Structure 1
């Protein structure tokens, strides 16, 4: 009997577990059955699909790059909206700004007259307090390289909304184009106070740092911007700029990685495609470089890309192919001029090296009067040199390269131009120094010009050995060079 009781006690735990398992299973079945009754069924809320073009709308209003398909959808939706509601000033402003972004991303300047019409309609419908349209007009002026107009529109927008952070990047671009680097830095400081966390703000900071010669700070800011980007398209844009910076300092492998990553994220990132062409050419991978440039030009026929490809062909001894690209450049400049774009900088650079230097001087003098930025100073100095005015050329080359004149950016091309001008002025020491500096900044800065820089340096030879001045000699006052 005792044995039987012990045996029963040994079964109780197992029996209890079976009962518990059965009960749980029954509850699960019952719960599942009840869930199937129509009047008891509860479904998890489904995520609401974003409205067509909503992502592009967020990007456009924040001043960041938008995906081309989303942008096209946004334009379609807003065009329908303003047809049905022509008094909707905000929709007109969004439509105009979207046209600007589409024109910028595709290099199709026919978008710019449409943008201007939409934005001016917005300002007509709502004349007061329309900061969105004022921002759009500033963005349009920046895209057209009309930096004085961009400054005017941007300042008008800030009067209405001093804390509207999206206006500040537009003003930074305008001040930079006008060569007012102090104002650009001051505007950046205010922007960082208002909205330092946004990826687009960090990217704008990187551009200012680069212009001040702070290359490490610029690279760090761009990496932060890419990490903080809200969309793959935005991230691709900041990676492309990081690739540009890497190329400018001669780090070809890093540049190529950044450009390739940008294209993977956004196949429509044609600036990165052209960057790949530039970098592959420097690496000696010529066939791949030519292919990359052609892809970029096919989808974004930018005059600058045509100039670069033409010079690559010229460096390879392919004169006929080079002329074909230079013809493309002329056609594209004419098309962009019809859309209100100021292309005198790129056209002047082309004429100085491959066309009529006197025509280059005429165009670039007028450009300097309109917007005296560092790039214009460099291009005008080189055009004067090619036209035979080396003394006048040196003045502008110094503006482009001397910190005292605002030329803080570390540019191999600018140093090369100054060195070659100084060589022809028989200033051997400065010429040697600036040509060496160009090759030190970026030994691959141009397929045409790097060999010329090396030849010029070889001809200049080593600096002469000069005796160390005695203490008495060192006390003598320097001669007045004026």
Structure 2
């Protein structure tokens, strides 16, 4: 309402309001709307760094990666700093250049102007380490982030998953309970539920899963699109029909590699592996070093009877990150054992 009022008052020289509208649209996962408002901002301010940031973000989520790369480079040229370097880092990670992603995020951390910004960059470095299977490096960065900003929750969640990776399941559950009590983000709620499920506490796990679905309903009621997240959650937890419906709707909106992966996994859950394999290969088209993508592809290939390919991709998943998923890791190891491969 404030941004709309600002545009009514200053319709011709108000790029900032359009940037704000683009950011709000992105927060609702309306990336086409975010791109539209970002382009309106660019017409008013063709040299604004924030303008290129919201446009590039939308292009990434819409699967237009070459255009996103060019846009982020313009942002770096106009406004080098934490925001632009971080976006370059993410794009490099998507293209499988993990070392380059780390360099860009280190550059972002070096120019961070506040303790909170430095904490954010440290946490992102922790996530890059985690996704590469470096538990020690991830723990170091998460601890650094927590020390810099003790009230920010994501580093605490990072340390919870580190505890799980180190085999300290009870500690991980306790830490996730603390995190969820402070900030019940669906990602954290589901992680807690999955950990409880693996310990055999199915009743408590179902309570957490129910909370995650309730939160998704609240997001939808407030205009936030959560079809991608629901597709993955439902496919992982035995709800193939809803997963496939959500994934199909999201694929109709945008063709990013994340949506291709979710669509493939939902198709697999529904037993449509011949269709699923093409979408999962599309998810890997940029060369992303994603253990989750390779796990999904390996499981789909095994379901199609392609034993050698399935074993190869499941091994690749565990080599990239042997702790990529609370439920996926044991499933991958079991599938490899059944197929006669070894982790």
| TM-score (normalizing by structure 1) | 0.69
State the partner residue of 2:62.
Answer: 178
State the partner residue of 1:373.
Answer: 256
1:122 aligns to 2:1 (yes or no): no
State the partner residue of 1:448.
Answer: 327
Deviations 1:246-296 (A, max 9, x none): 100110011111112112211232222222212221111223322322232
Work out the CA distance in 1 between the residues paired with 2:51 and 2:178: 33
SS for the counterpart of 1:166 is helix
Equivalent residue for 2:153, pick from 250, 255, 270: 270
1:219 aligns to 2:98 (yes or no): no
Displacement of 1:243? 0.8
Deviations 1:51-86 (A, max 9, x none): xxxxxxxxxxxxxxxxxxxxxxxxxxxxxxxxxxxx
1:423 aligns to 2:302 (yes or no): yes
Question: Which 5+ residue runs of structure 2 have no aligned equivalent?
Answer: none
State the partner residue of 2:233.
Answer: 350
SS for the counterpart of 1:244 is helix
Equivalent residue for 2:15, pick from 131, 147, 166: 131
State the partner residue of 2:186.
Answer: 303
Question: Which 5+ residue runs of structure 1 have no aligned equivalent?
Answer: 1-116, 464-482
Work out the CA distance in 2 between the residues paired with 1:387 and 1:462: 25
Work out the CA distance in 2 between the residues paired with 1:209 and 1:278: 24
State the partner residue of 1:460.
Answer: 339
Q: 1:348 to 1:262 in 2, by over 3 A?
A: same
Within 5 Å, which residues of 2 pair with 1:59-98?
none
Work out the CA distance in 2 between the residues paired with 1:177 and 1:357: 24
Displacement of 1:239? 1.1
Equivalent residue for 2:136, pick from 235, 248, 253: 253
State the partner residue of 1:210.
Answer: 93
1:396 aligns to 2:279 (yes or no): yes
Displacement of 1:462? 5.2
Work out the CA distance in 2 between the residues paired with 1:157 and 1:176: 18
Tell me if structure 2 keeps the 8 A contact 1:147–1:174.
Answer: yes
SS for the counterpart of 2:184 is coil
Displacement of 1:355? 4.1
Query: Which structure has the greater CA radius of gyration?
Result: 1
1:434 aligns to 2:317 (yes or no): no
Work out the CA distance in 1 between the residues paired with 2:88 and 2:175: 29
SS for the counterpart of 1:242 is helix
State the partner residue of 1:333.
Answer: 216
Work out the CA distance in 2 between the residues paired with 1:309 and 1:373: 28
Tell me if structure 2 keeps the 8 A contact 1:274–1:292.
Answer: yes
SS for the counterpart of 2:49 is coil
Tell me if structure 1 keeps the 8 A contact 2:62–2:254.
Answer: yes
Tell me if structure 2 keeps the 8 A contact 1:303–1:346.
Answer: no
Tell me if structure 2 keeps the 8 A contact 1:239–1:261.
Answer: yes
Within 5 Å, which residues of 2 pair with 1:94-105?
none
Equivalent residue for 2:174, pick from 291, 297, 301: 291
Work out the CA distance in 1 between the residues paired with 2:103 and 2:171: 29
Q: How many pairs are equivalent?
A: 342
| TM-score (normalizing by structure 2) | 0.96
Superposition misfits of 4+ residues, deviation over 4 angstroms: none
Give the CA RMSD over aligned residues: 1.4
Displacement of 1:220? 1.4
Higher relative contact order (CA 8 A, sep 6+): 2
Deviations 1:137-163 (A, max 9, x none): 111111111111111111111111111
Work out the CA distance in 2 between the residues paired with 1:260 and 1:462: 37
